[in-house]
């Protein structure tokens, strides 16, 4: 395993995470990938499915259970990985979730639970995972730390107009019907950008290249409506998977400490 690039990726049983594992397996670089999912069963199922899709890869895949809302689960994931390897070369914090409904008016009675759960999963849980695994990461000779953010996290774009551009515009009156604000998710991903920046500076002298990746408007199951997203012009999740691999393999190293997108650098 010493001759392979060791990756730990969370949320790898669906969407962009699943596609990232497939992208790694199609690379000329040899990888050993710890496939993090909420349960060991989901991880094993993902590995079986990916192996069928990419049967000739020289990469090795290993199942890991990781629940972002559980410190015990995070500790157990660390112990399982640390028992098998002496380093991690790339940590991909991909796991995340959205708890907003598709109508802001429906969110009003549930604001506290929506925000608390979004922050617990997307920000706090991700931060705890990073803190736990940093001792393994800094042992790599070329470490990379990746956080998956969103195009919806940009304050610059939100300061100019109701965002995203395809969202129905709020009209006068109350409650605001037929408006998909996604405010809990948006806010948590903006906070995640700050988490990335803090880790960028904390680990700068350790040689860790740290990024947020904004994978673009993709038809994942994050909001539970991939077909609707496709109708609105969303791309395939595989685009995000390939992008994660490109950053892992050093193609955006000059943009460390920033939110990188396929088109360049995303505004804060």
Residue 220 has a pLDDT of 63
- pLDDT tens figures, 195-247: 999 999 999 999 999 999 999 765 566 655 556 555 555 567 788 899 999 99
pLDDT band at 27 (very low <50, low <70, confident <90, very high): very high
Q: What is the phi-psi region of residue 224: left when phi exceeds 0, alpha when psi lies from -120 to 50, beta otherwise?
A: left
Residue 166 has a pLDDT of 82
* Contact predicate 244/94, CB 8 Å: yes
Classify the C-alpha dihedral 225-226-232-237 as positive or negative: positive
Annotated catalytic residue, options 22, 132, 185, 258: 185
Residue 32 has a pLDDT of 97
β strands within 76-134, DSSP E: 90-93
Annotated catalytic residue, options 132, 186, 189, 209: 189
Tokens matching residue 141: 């000779």
Looking at the chain, the whole-number percentage of residues with pLDDT higher than 90 is 82
Annotated catalytic residue, options 57, 73, 140, 150: 150
pLDDT at 128 over 70: yes
Q: Based on the residue annotation, tell me whether 189 is a catalytic residue of this protein.
A: yes
Q: Based on the residue annotation, tell me whether 24 is a catalytic residue of this protein.
A: no
Q: For the chain, give the mean pLDDT.
A: 93
- pLDDT tens figures, 129-187: 999 999 999 999 999 999 999 999 999 999 999 998 888 889 999 999 889 899 999 99
- pLDDT tens figures, 129-145: 999 999 999 999 999 99
Looking at the chain, the whole-number percentage of residues with pLDDT higher than 70 is 93
Residues 6+ positions from 132 with CB-CB distance below 8 Å: 74, 75, 78
Virtual torsion, Cα 23, 25, 30, 36, nearest 10 deg: 80
Domains plus CATH for the chain?
Answer: 5-265 (3.40.50.720)
pLDDT band at 194 (very low <50, low <70, confident <90, very high): very high
Q: Based on the residue annotation, tell me whether 141 is a catalytic residue of this protein.
A: no
pLDDT band at 89 (very low <50, low <70, confident <90, very high): very high
- pLDDT tens figures, 238-251: 888 999 999 999 99
Q: Contacts from 100-105 at CB under 8 Å and sequence distance 24+? A: 100/180, 100/181, 100/182, 100/183, 100/184, 100/185, 100/223, 102/180, 102/223, 102/225, 103/177, 103/178, 103/179, 103/180, 104/175, 104/176, 104/179, 104/180, 104/181, 104/183, 105/175, 105/176, 105/177, 105/179
Residue 237 has a pLDDT of 78
């Amino acid at each position: 395993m010493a001759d392979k690039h060791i990756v730990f990726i969370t949320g790898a049983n669906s969407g962009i995470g699943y596609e990232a594992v497939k992208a790694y397996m199609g690379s000329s670089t040899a990888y050993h990938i710890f496939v993090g999912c909420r349960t060991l069963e989901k991880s094993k199922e993902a590995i079986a499915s990916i192996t069928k899709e990419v049967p000739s890869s020289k990469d090795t895949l290993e199942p890991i259970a990781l629940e972002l809302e559980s410190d015990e689960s995070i500790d157990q994931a660390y112990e399982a990985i640390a028992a098998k390897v002496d380093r991690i070369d790339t940590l991909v914090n991909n796991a995340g979730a959205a708890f907003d409904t598709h109508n802001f008016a429906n969110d009003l009675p549930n604001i506290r639970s929506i925000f608390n759960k979004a922050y617990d999963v997307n920000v706090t849980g991700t931060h705890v995972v990073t803190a736990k695994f940093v001792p393994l990461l800094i042992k790599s000779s070329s470490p990379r730390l990746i956080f998956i953010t969103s195009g919806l996290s940009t304050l610059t774009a939100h300061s100019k107009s109701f965002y995203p551009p395809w969202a129905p515009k709020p009209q006068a009156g109350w409650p605001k019907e037929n408006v998909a604000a996604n405010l809990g998710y948006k806010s948590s991903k903006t906070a995640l950008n700050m988490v990335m920046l803090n880790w960028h500076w904390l680990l700068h002298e350790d040689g860790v290249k740290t990024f947020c990746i904004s994978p673009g408007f993709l038809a994942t199951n994050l909001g539970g409506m991939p077909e609707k997203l496709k109708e609105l012009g969303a791309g395939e999740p595989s685009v995000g998977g390939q992008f994660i691999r490109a950053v892992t393999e050093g193609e955006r190293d000059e943009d460390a400490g920033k939110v990188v997108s396929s088109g360049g650098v995303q505004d804060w």
